[in-house]
Amino acid sequence: MKLCLKEQLFSESQLRSKAQELAIQIEHDAEDRPIVFIVVLNGAFVFASDLLRFIQNENIQLDTICTSSYKNVMTSSEQVLLRKDIDLNLEDRYVVLIEDIIDTGRTLKYLSEYIRNKYRPYCLKLCTLLDKPSRRQVELKADYVGFTIDDLFVVGYGIDCCEKFRQLPYIAHVEKIEE
């Protein structure tokens, strides 16, 4: 299978500006409470890295969680598998779960329910760089959304397709080309 980059949707400067805007919103809502950021690997690590650079609160902690839900290149499966769990104690903590993109919503819904039930945080906020509400299969609403996009397959800024294009400093639309 061959993939073709189509159009650039968001530039590097747009992405950093949005990360700063979201960081300000998160800090405002946290009201000087210590914040635990949980990054969903691997896709959200670039976004999270930029977002955290804009956080002024010195009392933060960072952890990661890893799942998989993609059964093939361009479609998402209904099953979410937990591949790496959280190491920190989240009980009675102010937690922000950082995701790269909400598509069907199944992964983030699974993770939010899992974290609430297992770790019992004081508060769990959901932050995503990209949201595709037209693809939603479960009821889910993020507290912080960078950009709302149409039903396009996107890559770059940490988001990959078959482990390709993750390193791009921007987000672009990609299409599959039949050979």
Which amino acid is residue 54, in one-letter code? F
CA distance 63 to 162: 25
Tell me which amino acid residue 91 is.
E
* CA-wise closest residue to 24 among 147, 124, 141, 144: 144
| 151 is annotated as an active-site residue | no
Number of C-beta neighbours around residue 159 at 10 A: 23
Q: Which amino acid is at 137?
A: Q
**Rg value, the chain, Cα:** 16
> Token pair for residue 128?
């995503």
Q: Which two tokens stand for residue 174?
A: 């990609």
Catalytic residue among 87, 103, 131, 160: 103
- Helices (H), ranges, the chain: 12-30, 45-53, 106-119
* Alpha-carbon span 100 to 102, nearest angstrom: 7
Q: Catalytic residue positions? A: 103
